[in-house]
Amino acid sequence: MLERRLNWKAACLFVFADPQWRTQIFRGGLWLLLCPPVGWLMALGYRKEVVMNLVGGTHPVLPVWPGQARRFFSEGAKAVGVILVYFAPFFALFWGLGVDDPSVLGTRISELVVFFVAIVVLAPVFLPALPVWYAGRYEWFVLTDAEATGLAILFMFTTYIIPAGFMQVSRSGRFRDALCFRAVVRVFREHAWAYTEAWVCSGFMTLAALASGPLAPFGIIWSYQGIVYCFNEVLTASSDPEVRSRMEKSHFPALGARTRPRTEVEMGGVLGSGRGDPAMFVVGAATWAVVAMSVTEGGAQVYLRGRTGLRSRVELSTVWRPFLTASRGYVDHFVEVTRREDVLELRPVCAALRLGPVRMPLPRRLTPRFRPTPVRPGEPSWRP
Give me the count of residues in the chain.
384
Output the pLDDT for position 280: 94
Bridge partners for 328 per DSSP: 331
When comparing pLDDT for 336 and 101, which is higher?
Answer: 336
Q: Computed from CA positions of residues 272, 274, 275, 278, in that sequence, does the dihedral angle turn out positive or negative? A: positive
Q: Regarding beta strands 286-296 and 373-374, do their DSSP bridges make them parallel or antiparallel, or are they unpaired?
A: unpaired
Radius of gyration of the chain (CA): 25
C-beta separation of 89 from 154 below 8 A: yes
Q: Is the pLDDT of residue 154 over 70?
A: yes
- Mean of pLDDT over the chain: 90
Q: How far is CA 164 from each of CA 80, 186, 189, 250, 350, rounded to the nearest angstrom?
A: 15, 9, 11, 19, 33
Output the pLDDT for position 275: 86
Output the pLDDT for position 45: 96
Please state the φ and ψ torsions of residue 286, each to the nearest 5 degrees: -90, 140
Output the pLDDT for position 73: 95
Q: Is the pLDDT of residue 3 over 50?
A: no
Residues 264-300: tens digit of each pLDDT: 999 999 999 888 889 999 998 899 999 988 898 878 9
Torsion of the alpha carbons at 345, 348, 353 and 354, rounded to the nearest 10: -30
User: Mean pLDDT over residues 227-246, rounded?
Assistant: 89
Output the pLDDT for position 185: 94
Residues 161-215: tens digit of each pLDDT: 999 999 999 888 899 999 999 999 999 999 999 999 999 999 999 999 998 888 8
Q: Is the pLDDT of residue 319 over 70?
A: yes
* Distance from C-alpha of 29 to C-alpha of 174, rounded to nearest angstrom: 25
Regarding pTM above 0.75, the answer is yes
C-beta separation of 164 from 171 below 8 A: no
Q: Is the pLDDT of residue 349 over 50?
A: yes
pLDDT band, very low/low/confident/very high, at 365 (cuts 50, 70, 90): confident
